[in-house]
């Protein structure tokens, strides 16, 4: 809280002063941008999904006078090219390649070390990056922890979360043939999302993407469901996300915990919504216990989204504390 007991709000909107596309190989060009203080402390924002892309509001989690704010769109989504909706090759979209894309951008920008900020899948990627390149990370600010364990994927896509949102779960099941609704829905959706019938693929993409949009806030926001249902966004979001989950994220089970000793010496803050259905709080708790330098903040009146008021407040408190 502020001195008056009010929750903090985002910093005012700003525009990037530098942007470009970095050729990272495999025919991929990664969009990046910089806003804030050109001489400030570098921070890189890793967006969610995978496949979510960045949004201008994400620049506002950082004091623009203190930070050199770097946003990027991961392979196949946002402004990076080629876009999945335009037929991008998913075979060259893996966790290891994303990590090396981030490292290539750091080198391209001439940055020695930077703070890493990520939520949901962004927390997954931030942890994987910090465990792979620990000397390049000054601090971590993470939200809505996702450790890419099979239990987390099954909870959200194979019925667990559906018990809390039965009417929305029914919409998630609509594209799935009735005789396949007891199967692994991640695998079923993989087939639907890559159907030769464009209508089948589009319908599956919207259902997959809308499911996340409808469950990300403690109090649902219809505009988020509508935003996620836009077909170009939905195709990239659903196909990339499903591609990672059907391939177990291209990492070993529980790898982010078993390799957590690499995080020792890196300070960080974990902000977690108590009622986060997308990424339940047990993952944040497990990470906190494996990473002694971390500070865990559980927000009792919040779900998953970074735009939940309490989560926004504590993320701002964290980024300000590391200025």
Which residues are designated catalytic?
120, 276, 304
Residue 300, both tokens: 């009792």
Please tell me whether residue 100 adopts helix, strand or coil conformation: helix
- Side-chain-side CA neighbours of residue 76 (13 Å): 28
- DSSP per residue, 151-176: HHHHHHHSSTGGGT-HHHHHHHHTTS
Please tell me whether residue 194 adopts helix, strand or coil conformation: coil
Lookup result for tokens 């809390």: 164
Parallel/antiparallel/unpaired status of strands 268-273 and 114-119: unpaired
Lookup result for tokens 């019925």: 159
CA-closest candidate to residue 59, choices 98, 19, 99: 19
SS (H, E, C) 271-307: EEECCCCCCCHHHHHHHHHHCCCEEEEEECCCCCCCC
Q: Buried (b) or exposed (e) across 7-37, using 16+ Cβ within 10 A?
A: eeebbeeeebeeeeebebeeebbbbbbbbbb
H/E stretch holding 246 reads helix 231-246
Residue 94 makes CB contacts below 8 A (sequence gap 6+) with 247, 250
| 172 CA to centre of own chain | 20
């Amino acid at each position: 809280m502020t001195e008056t007991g009010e929750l903090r709000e985002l910093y005012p909107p700003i525009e990037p002063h530098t942007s470009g596309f970095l050729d990272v190989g495999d025919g991929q060009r990664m969009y990046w941008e910089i806003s804030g203080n050109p001489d400030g402390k570098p921070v890189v924002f890793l967006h969610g999904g995978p496949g979510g892309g960045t949004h201008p509001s994400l620049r506002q989690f950082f004091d623009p006078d203190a930070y050199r704010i770097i946003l990027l769109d991961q392979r196949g989504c946002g402004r990076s090219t080629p876009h999945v909706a335009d037929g991008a090759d998913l075979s060259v979209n893996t966790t290891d390649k994303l990590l090396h894309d981030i490292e290539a951008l750091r080198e391209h920008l001439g940055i020695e070390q930077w703070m890493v900020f990520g939520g949901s899948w962004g927390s997954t990627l931030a942890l994987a990056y910090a465990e792979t390149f620990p000397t390049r990370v000054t601090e971590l600010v993470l939200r809505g922890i996702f450790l890419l364990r099979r239990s987390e994927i099954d909870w959200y896509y194979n019925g667990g979360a559906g018990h809390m949102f039965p009417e929305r779960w029914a919409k998630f099941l609509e594209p799935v043939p009735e005789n396949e609704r007891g199967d692994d829905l991640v695998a079923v959706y993989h087939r639907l999302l890559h159907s030769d019938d464009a209508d089948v693929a589009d319908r599956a993409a919207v259902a997959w993407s809308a499911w996340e949009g409808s469950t990300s806030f403690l109090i649902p926001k219809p505009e988020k469901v509508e935003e996620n249902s836009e077909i170009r966004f939905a195709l990239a979001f659903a196909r990339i996300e499903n591609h990672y989950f059907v391939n177990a994220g291209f990492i070993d089970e529980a790898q982010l915990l078993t390799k957590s000793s690499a995080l020792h010496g890196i300070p960080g803050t974990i902000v977690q919504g108590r009622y986060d259905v997308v990424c339940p709080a047990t993952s944040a708790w497990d990470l906190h216990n494996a990473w002694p330098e971390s500070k865990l903040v559980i927000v009792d009146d919040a779900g998953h989204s970074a735009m939940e008021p309490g989560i926004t407040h504590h993320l701002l408190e964290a980024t300000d504390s590391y200025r």
